[in-house]
Structure 1
């Protein structure tokens, strides 16, 4: 198998976003093109230079990308719409990266955009009876896991609240985040309880928004005279779940598998990571995944959190954007919004949210089904 480090090098040269927000009258076209134009400006190139586009969305409808790009002009670019639940944007980004790595295109754009639509889940059309009406609801699974860990490993409600407080505080410094207020541990604990000991502020909001990332080859950088600092994509992996073993949630096992794959592909270890954007739809996930990724020993994710290991300025900042909990989770854009954050971290332009001397970052997402996807981005020095 040829890895990204062995294939033709691929670089992110431009990123852009439209603020994540609660449901509004804003057209998806306006949001999407805001992100696209910002990415083009960041890269310093014109739209006709883009040869292909992958559009991640879940709730807009057929041909959303092609209709959106009509408003920039019909340039003949290859246009593919991607739906992979919460990982739609992440998958669109991977496809753009692989296309450039294979030499099929020199410049490709990945765009994530979503309005809050009906998002009908295929599981509702499976015609298989469930033992419980809540069996396919992620919140319930993670709330049960939080209860289990509180008994087995000493995890407390304050630990979950600390994750949410950290991420809401990070989001309050992020102009693209849906939530703009810092929240204390006490405020998180006092919010409405939605399942078990999980409160509403420990969960991600749903909404809308857009994000875009432009990737290209070394040849394109030279040919187009691109001066934007390129960030190399050195690994990308996607896997789906296997049958559950024991009590561990399949998405956790799955996250470990894709992480091990991208570490090997990029030739790094967890100790090399400076920043991570991970799937924290619920606060318990961040604690679980920091252990799964090897940032903290198994069973000690809460201790890593309490010690400030995941804070900006800590061992490896986790969800400096605010994560899904604070920045928001509009589905289609979410994974590309992670790329936006990591590229800005590695370029050293994140202001108050800057992780000192950041050189390597990882983006991780989970999609219903379940699938897991991860990418490694590196600053070349």
Structure 2
């Protein structure tokens, strides 16, 4: 039987850092990444020389991203690996860093996410096989169709999607690292420029640039480096799956449900135990679908739970208190690592005005093209 994190050494998040997610600028990816890395090292009080392995999630920067980035911190002979897994690149980089610590291959590792906006080349376009839809079903079209089906089958309306955007934009307005930092109303969201079907611009994530970094460590490293254990957030589980054959429902939703259940089971907790969730809400419909398939609420109940404030900061479970992909932004490479930063802040009680009261358990979720899904469960310091 395959081992899980609970069978191995405990792993802790001990340092976190971000560069603001933002519109494309002339800023070098090196500056974006170094800002986040240095912040993470400073946050944990960790010297660069103690970091033994690095995983860099990136999708738009080409080959060999790590070396021109990390050489500015010192030439230490560190093991470097670039990770590309579409939107789940940063989540996958974090998973690999966690597994290194858990297995005892390293005592201190860093997961980095960095990207700049640029055209992306999908390998699927180079298979020599023409897509059955002639390339017309772009992500906005796909999720607009899913939104139409979801609302029709549940008797919902466009305002149910708009409430997702309003909540997440308003959360991001209090996040200095968010791409979008403006409060919105339902009326503003519904009246904004249409993108596809019922989806407006404010219900679709902005793709820009940014950086994120997370340092993970073993108990031995925490003691040796004098790291404050009261700020060390434990990683309870790390699950990753790819799609299988499903029925007529969204394969992203089905995959999310299966991967989340694996992560929760391995962590020994239930969906109802979660206090904070950061999920893949690239389009507003995704939050409603995923919360249901995760088991956070009953099938078809997400719109009413949202309307009743259950997913607000201070509600039953804070969903995307960072602002989510919709408003925190989705620079792709950094996104999954940035989710861990937010959850760590929440579980430490250091999220300021965005703090979910008494947060003890958090879940991070991302889906990537392919499709792949990565889910992590984290616990507050004891």
Pairwise same-fold verdict (TM > 0.5): yes
Q: Does 1:177 align with 2:178?
A: yes
Aligned twin of 1:237 = 239
TM-score where L is the length of structure 2 = 0.98
Aligned twin of 2:96 = 95
The 8 Å contact of residues 237 and 373 in structure 1, kept in 2 or not, is answered as yes
The 8 Å contact of residues 16 and 35 in structure 1, kept in 2 or not, is answered as yes
SS at match of 1:71: helix
The range that moved more, 339-348 or 237-246, is: 237-246
Pairs within 5 Å for 1:1-381: 1-134=2-135, 136-227=137-228, 229-246=231-248, 248-381=249-382
SS at match of 1:5: helix
The 8 Å contact of residues 44 and 227 in structure 1, kept in 2 or not, is answered as no
The range that moved more, 143-152 or 348-357, is: 143-152
CA RMSD after TM alignment? 0.9
Deviations 1:324-351 (CA, angstroms, capped at 9, x unpaired): 0000000000000000000000000111
1:143 & 1:47 partners in 2: Cα distance? 45
| Aligned length, in residue pairs | 380
1:155 & 1:179 partners in 2: Cα distance? 27
1:114 positional shift: 0.2
Deviations 1:187-212 (CA, angstroms, capped at 9, x unpaired): 00000111111101000001000000
1:380 positional shift: 3.3
Q: Which runs of 5 or more structure 2 residues have no equivalent in the other structure? A: none
SS at match of 1:237: strand
Deviations 1:49-68 (CA, angstroms, capped at 9, x unpaired): 10000000001111111111
The 8 Å contact of residues 64 and 82 in structure 2, kept in 1 or not, is answered as yes
TM-score where L is the length of structure 1 = 0.98
The 8 Å contact of residues 254 and 372 in structure 1, kept in 2 or not, is answered as yes
The 8 Å contact of residues 134 and 140 in structure 1, kept in 2 or not, is answered as no
Deviations 1:295-341 (CA, angstroms, capped at 9, x unpaired): 11011111111111110001100000000000000000000000000
2:151 & 2:339 partners in 1: Cα distance? 29
1:141 positional shift: 1.6
